[in-house]
Amino acid sequence: MEGMEGHNVCLSLHSDNLFQAEIAPPSRADHVAKGPRGAPGGGRTSTMSTRPTLGEVLLGIEGLALLRLVSSDDPSARRARVDEIRSLLGRIDASDLAESAEGHEYDLAGGYRAWSETYDTPLRLFRLEQPIMHRLFDSLSPSRVLDAACGTGRHSEDLAGRGHRIIGIDRSPEMLQRARRKVPSGDFREGGP
């Protein structure tokens, strides 16, 4: 919003389903943040003039999940989101939710180095991806296969198990180290754009 730089957005919970938002100039932020304690619902108020806390981010995510259900015919799904929002609001100032949600930003090499440690932890997408990839792998006659951006060699391992000779390439030495352990017969090389 034009001309609003430096202003604070203050959100107050006044009852189970009524929020009041106020945009305050910096000089008014402390007054708004204190808010009236006699307001219905306890007058809990949060000033969002710093980085979002984990609780605020989780509240936003739950709000987005609720919005995704706007055309849903499942009232129990919407009720579950509303219940979770209420639960979060009830403990929004708890120490585990009051920490900043801001994380560390890694460069490409550092990010892949850190990710290599958990890369093979099952993700929701594995269940969707594996049947499709296994059908594709099963349709191939054993041959030499290039696994570009091979990461930790998850697909290389599946392909080698089907008799393929693997050449894997990746930019991350840490990912390649894991791929080499999975497929000792593979030829894994560092490289990429």
* C-alpha to C-alpha distances, 154 to 128, 150, 172, nearest whole angstrom: 15, 7, 14
Spell out the alpha helix ranges (H) of 91-185.
95-98, 108-116, 124-138, 154-161, 173-182
- Whether the predicted pLDDT of 32 surpasses 70: no
Determine the 3-state secondary structure of 139 from DSSP: coil
Instruction: Quick: pLDDT tens for 37-62.
Output: 444 444 445 544 477 888 998 999 99
Structure tokens, 142: 């054993």
Alpha-carbon dihedral angle through residues 154, 157, 159, 162, given to the nearest 10 degrees? -140
- In the chain, domain spans: 1-49, 51-103, 109-190
**What pTM was computed for the model?**
0.50
Spatial CB neighbours of 105, under 8 Å, sequence gap ≥ 6:
none
Task: Yes or no: say if 189 and 183 are a contact pair by the CB < 8 Å rule.
Answer: no
CA–CA dist 4, 19 (Å, integer)? 21
**Nearest C-alpha neighbor of 35 from the set 27, 45, 25:** 45
CA–CA dist 175, 117 (Å, integer)? 9
Q: Which CATH number fits domain 109-190: 3.10.150.10, 3.20.20.140, 3.40.50.150, 3.40.50.2300?
A: 3.40.50.150
Task: Yes or no: say if 56 and 101 are a contact pair by the CB < 8 Å rule.
Answer: yes
Alpha-carbon dihedral angle through residues 167, 173, 179, 184, given to the nearest 10 degrees? 70
Instruction: Quick: pLDDT tens for 117-169.
Output: 888 887 767 888 889 999 999 999 999 999 999 999 999 999 999 999 999 99
User: Which DSSP symbol is given to 44?
Assistant: E
Instruction: Quick: pLDDT tens for 97-114.
Output: 888 877 777 888 888 888
